[in-house]
Amino acid sequence: MGLDIKPSSNASYNSIAIIGGSGFYDFLEEPSKISVTTPFSSKPVIIYRQDHEGKFLYFLPRHGGNHTIPPHKINFKANIFALHSLSIPRVIATSAVGSLHPSIRPGDYVLLDQFIDLVRPVTFFDGDFSVTFTQGTKISGVVHLDMTEPYCPEIRNILSVILKSDLSTHNKGTYATTMGPRFETPAEIKAFQHMGADVVGMTNSSEAILCRELGICYGVIAVVTNMAAGLQKQVNHEEVITIFETRSANLKLIFHKVIANLPMHKSCSCAWYIEK
Ligand code: HPA
């Protein structure tokens, strides 16, 4: 049986969602909590919302409020569909990553522009799904989407302008996705290095794919929390959280600057179903 889902209201370019990864569990100061039901889970998706200087801000902690959801159990489809049903046109996510290169150090930011994700099939378009976009376009069945620019170039440009004087920011980077929740073996890391990856993590490419399918712009600021397996003695989750937390306050400032600078129209092609 097909699902035919319409978003609840008109897209507002004043709305933006932040998805927080490991170590980034809150963003808004006095949020209201909303529960969004989706066809993809019996449980609602919990999203936090606050209006701020004429903008509608949403926050979704990907691992739950207290890091209770491991990467392989995140319901990516429910999360992204919930954002779609709130007509949110843009998402920026944080992502903790391990570095594969000596020049990319713990504490650095990487503005991802590519990913290598050969691990997890994730799609809304699995044959019996149809979606109606805000301006009425209806897409259904099997869709093979272009992924030449998997992350929104417009969001990455805004981030790189804001971070241009930050010497610890890398303006490009290729993310290799693993299933988690375990960290990698040194042999896996060597293989990813040969494949051209710069950093490794367990989550964000699934979100990038699902957002693109629904025409939502998706940008990421990856925070390097450790050197990947084999490039330091051991990798552990406590270190990931500790290093990430040293960047949390700065990340919040960056997000507020991005929000203040968001254009009221999109110049990218992330909303691929709109003919230009
Ligand atoms: N590997 C996978 N995911 C991660 C890492 C890592 O080294 N660091 C932070 N998230």
SS (H, E, C) 62-97: CCCCCCCCCHHHCCHHHHHHHHHHCCCCEEEEEEEE
- Is the C-beta atom of 202 inside 6 A of ligand 1? yes
In angstroms, what is the span from residue 146 Cα to ligand 1's centroid? 27
Ligand 1: centre distance to CA 62 (Å): 15
Rounded Cα distance between 75 and 60, Å, is 12
Locus of tokens 């989407």: 145
Report whether residue 94 contacts ligand 1, using a CB cutoff of 6 Å: no
Furthest-apart CA pair in the chain: how many Å? 54
* Phi-psi group of 21: left, alpha or beta (phi > 0 → left; psi -120 to 50 → alpha; rest → beta): beta
96 vs 224: CA distance, rounded Å: 6
Q: Spell out the per-residue pLDDT of the chain, length 276, in tens.
A: 456 555 544 457 889 999 998 888 888 899 999 999 999 999 999 999 999 888 999 999 998 877 788 999 999 999 999 999 999 999 999 999 999 999 999 999 999 999 999 987 899 988 888 887 767 788 888 889 999 999 999 999 999 999 999 999 999 999 999 999 999 999 999 999 999 999 999 999 999 999 999 999 999 999 999 999 999 999 999 999 899 889 999 999 999 999 998 888 888 999 888 765
Q: Measured from the CA of 227, which atom of ligand 1 is nearest?
A: 7
CATH of the domain at 146: 3.40.50.1580
Sign of CA dihedral 204, 59, 96, 268: positive
89 upstream amide cis, omega within 30 of 0: no
In a domain, 274, yes or no: no
pLDDT of residue 169: 97
Domain of residue 76: give its range: 3-261
Q: Give the separation between CA 248 and CA 155, rounded to whole angstroms.
A: 19
> Which residue of 72, 119, 202 sits with most ligand 1 atoms within 8 Å of its CB, as the best mutation to test the pocket?
202
State the pLDDT at residue 276. Answer: 57
Q: How far is the CA of 72 from the centre of ligand 1 (A)?
A: 14
DSSP 21: -
Atom of ligand 1 nearest to the CA of 226: 8
Q: How many residues comprise the chain?
A: 276
Query: Does residue 102 lie in a domain region?
Result: yes
Is residue 62, in this structure, part of any structural domain at all? yes
Contact 110, 224 (CB under 8 A): yes
Query: Is 217 domain-assigned?
Result: yes
Residue 273 domain-assigned?
A: no
Structural domain count of the chain: 1
Read off the amino acid at residue 35.
S
pLDDT reported for residue 1: 40
Q: Is 68 contained in some domain?
A: yes
> Is the residue at 82 inside a domain?
yes
Residue 269 counted as domain residue: no
